[in-house]
Amino acid sequence: MQALPRDFYNRNTIQVAHELLGKFLVHHFNGEDRIGKIVEVEAYLGPQDLAAHTSKGLTPRTRAMFGPPGHAYVYLIYGMHHCMNVVTEPEGTGTAVLLRALEPVANLPVSASGPGRLCKAMGIDKGHYGHDLCSPTLFIADNPDPAPIRIVERPRIGVDYAGEWAAKPLRFYIEGSPYISRK
DNA sequence: AGGATGATATCC
DNA sequence: GATATCATCCTC
């Protein structure tokens, strides 16, 4: 299985979010491949998006999200859960896609539905902050046996503070998947 | 419905 | 230096 090229990420964030659905997230983790199929994501559209961390500007925390596409933006939320994003669009744009749920494919020890659980199941933590996804250890690959899917659009989860941005349909998931984090 | 638990931003 | 807040999850 081969990592998607950086050009895949260097495009419109909503388009990347759509195309990530059904792809495989792969982590080569002490001798085994942990693999999950991406079934749920959210798009974060940069500094003008009040729900995006980059709306706070360039800080040590948001450095990776303002960085070049195809890298991981990992952070700790509520003191106990890690969340993983993939950075999109050219360096400096501050856009990313949050990975919210996976369908287990191989070696996932616990449920990967929900951004915190996803990171726990894949073995992802702050050590992967800024990790290049065009690498052999942690990357996203094409689904070797893709099936047609329908995409559902909903408002994002947990961003009620973001004013009019909270209502925008920027959460995407595969219709009918039993592995999405909530209905 | 509420608590855990720590990094971060934003005040003084 | 103090405090409020948080792209969540588990337990009651």
pLDDT for the residue A165: 97
**pLDDT band of A108, cuts 50, 70, 90:** very high
Distance A136 CA to B2 C1' (A): 42
Distance A134 CA to C12 C1' (A): 44
Q: Does at least one atom of strand C sit less than 7 Å from the CB of A147?
A: no
Percent residues over pLDDT 90 in chain A: 98
Instruction: Work out the mean pLDDT of chain A and round it to a whole number.
Output: 97
pLDDT for the residue A30: 85
Residues 126-145 of A with CB under 7 A from strand B: none
pLDDT for the residue A183: 82
Name the closest nucleotide to A53, judged by C1' and CA. Answer: C7
C5: residue with closest CA to C1': A78
B10: residue with closest CA to C1': A56
C-alpha span between A127 and A103 (Å, rounded) = 24
Segment A76-105, tens digit of pLDDT:
999 999 999 999 999 999 999 999 999 999
pTM summary value: 0.96
Q: Does at least one atom of strand B sit less than 7 Å from the CB of A56?
A: yes
Chain C: positions less than 7 Å from a protein CB are 5-10
